[in-house]
Chain A
Amino acid sequence: MITQPPHVPERLGLLATSAVDPFLTEELLKGEQVHGGIDLAKVVEPLHEDDARWWVEPIRSLVEDAMFEFREDRTRADAWLAPRLHATLRLTRREAADKRLWNHIALAVAPDYVVWRHRSEPTANRPERRVAAERFRGPADRQCFSRLWWAAELFRNGPDYEPVEAACGNQDLIHTVLRGGLVDHRPTAQALVRLLKSGKITTGRDVVGLSVAINAAGATLIYDVLAPDERRDPVRLRDWIAEAESAPPVERYELPTGPDEDPVPEESVAALTSYFAELFETAPVRGRKSGD
């Protein structure tokens, strides 16, 4: 298993996807050997010098804590890391949509974490342990760190990261749901978390079955009318980002606090939760016998 590269940069930068390939070696994907870091630093575009958010150390420290704490059960690291990564980085969505930032974190800052978290278990068919390249430079819902950041952004309820923990506790939920645009509507995201927490949906098949049903119903129903959301105030997010300068490291045992935005209107979450519960009763879910 690899450790961090000999040379880890002090500050985050932007790493173009087309410049990534020479460093995504077979040895790295197998978790045998990591690049030295020096050559990689040459192809990185720097970010603004005077922005406290781009210090690498807080992220390095988070991933090391995660690898220690969850060494017995690495999938559980997602629920722990997602809110803390989000509260450490303090990005706008515009910034987070730039894949070059995530390329840099995965490849220059914490390739050892990507390998630790995503290296496959040996199976009879594929005895070789390997990380899929998309975990380093893939789409937003697959890349190791961006999927966690987006899960935190889409499932947080204003400043409250508690729903993020619940959502990331179910691999299928973030896997299936992040891709589709379903949870871009905040009340929908909160309603899904409620169903998960109440135990109405539990397995991956439940999640897939329910999201197919929601999408099918959504073809004729406009959820924004059934469950209206409040407008978000852009100033609150900006303030939170500006506070990065003076913010202490994120809490390790408690959940951190997100931007001070209004939570989703309670009536909207309640209305959608009961509507989805009804949909789910009648949705065809693979492996579930009718009448269960």
Chain B
Amino acid sequence: MKIYPYKRLNRPVALRVTSVSLRLADGTRDQLETTAYSTQQQAVALGIAGHTDWVSATIGLSATLPPGANAQDAPWSDLCVLAVLTDGETNIRTSAELTRDAPDGRDWSGSVEVLRDDHLGRASLAVYVVGTVDGVSGRSIAETDRSWIVDTASDEPVRGLQLEVQTASFKRSSREWLQAYADAPWIVDASARVPTVFVNTDVEGVIGLLDSNGSGMESKVRDLLVAQMATDVWTAVFHGAIGDLEVEPGAGPVFPTDWQGEVLREMLPDVVPGVHVEEALRQVHRRRTGDSGWVELQTRIHYAAVRRADATKALAHVIRSLEQMNRESET
């Protein structure tokens, strides 16, 4: 919990995306369906319309300030509301001022523009309420507690980390480095921009299994396989992220600004339970770079990965199906 040397609003700002449109290379606009954004996930997917030639996106926003923002005796003045779009991968920070919908209301609205040339993957969108407090202008007096994710490539508005799954014949792939892994059914590349699973098509039938859907045994086995892959991915990206940490002099390790940061924030509560994520990150970093404790931590890292991958659920479903099959063959 941060301590502020001045009065603030103690509730967060509520932010909603109200519309998304793309400006295409030929100058036309495409107003996207509401399926391009999800209020529950707090995510926007700009890849949903299948355009590869969009130039910019305009995201319509509506923000509701917490109660008390307009109080007669409020200790702040010059209220303004700012939407700020940041992207750690491309060092982008753009801000847009929102305007108040009604003179005494708590709803503000406006839009931010997202330039495609300025982003590679995911940007993050927050809203700040800013005012002059005790004679100091530019004070933040409230903000959103959870940023929206603006994914410039995804075709589905989901918040969580998306793995990329690619299939290739490891023996014959044009990616020659895959040949070294020709006897593995899949490998995880945690050094790619988003963690990628390469599935080896040289294992006969594996693609058929992965593509299977429906409710039969096959799909249960597929889910188990996917859970196993996901466990591998989560473990690999956790180690990747923790191995590349930057250390601020005097302040300890800092969260990476790209998806590696997202991975750490999500997994650390399971790796070091019961403390703030910042403290958990310090502890993990100390145990990795210090004298001892790194080996003991592996079980916790594995546990965090297994939980993320829903491995227990997948396993339970397979076992249940097997039991049913056995029962049917007995009768």
Of the stretches A3-11, A14-22, A80-88, A123-131, the one at the interface is A14-22
> Per DSSP, are chain A's interface residues mostly helix, strand or loop, or mixed?
helix
Judged by a CB distance under 8 angstroms, whether B115 is at the interface is yes
Q: Is there an interface contact between B4 and A220, defined as CB atoms closer than 8 Å? A: yes
- Tell me the complex Cα distance, A212–B91, Å: 19
Q: Is there an interface contact between A154 and B91, defined as CB atoms closer than 8 Å? A: yes
Q: Is there an interface contact between B177 and A184, defined as CB atoms closer than 8 Å? A: no
Contacts of A234 in B (CB 8 A): 55-56, 115, 117-118
| A92/B138 contact (C-beta < 8 A), A179-B246, A181-B86, A222-B82 known | no
Q: Is there an interface contact between B140 and A222, defined as CB atoms closer than 8 Å? A: yes
Judged by a CB distance under 8 angstroms, whether A221 is at the interface is yes
Judged by a CB distance under 8 angstroms, whether A237 is at the interface is yes
Judged by a CB distance under 8 angstroms, whether B175 is at the interface is yes
Q: Is there an interface contact between B90 and A93, defined as CB atoms closer than 8 Å? A: yes
- Tell me the complex Cα distance, A22–B91, Å: 31
Judged by a CB distance under 8 angstroms, whether A139 is at the interface is yes
Q: Which of A18, A19, A97, A223 contacts B120 (CB 8 A)?
A: A97
Most buried by A among B117, B136, B193, B249: B117
Contacts of A19 in B (CB 8 A): 175-177
Q: Is there an interface contact between A93 and B91, defined as CB atoms closer than 8 Å? A: yes
Q: Is there an interface contact between B82 and A225, defined as CB atoms closer than 8 Å? A: yes
Judged by a CB distance under 8 angstroms, whether A185 is at the interface is yes
Shortest beta-carbon distance, A1 to chain B, in Å?
A: 28
- Tell me the complex Cα distance, A139–B240, Å: 12
Contact with A along B1-30 (1 / 0, CB 8 A): 010111000000000000000000000000
- Tell me the complex Cα distance, A221–B193, Å: 32
Contacts of A266 in B (CB 8 A): none
Judged by a CB distance under 8 angstroms, whether A42 is at the interface is yes
Top 5 A-B pairs, shortest CB-CB distance? A17-B191, A184-B93, A92-B117, A93-B90, A226-B138
Q: List 20 A-B contacts (CB under 8 A).
A: A16-B177, A16-B191, A18-B192, A97-B120, A138-B244, A181-B86, A181-B93, A181-B257, A185-B93, A212-B250, A220-B139, A221-B138, A221-B140, A224-B82, A225-B82, A226-B138, A229-B95, A231-B113, A234-B118, A238-B117
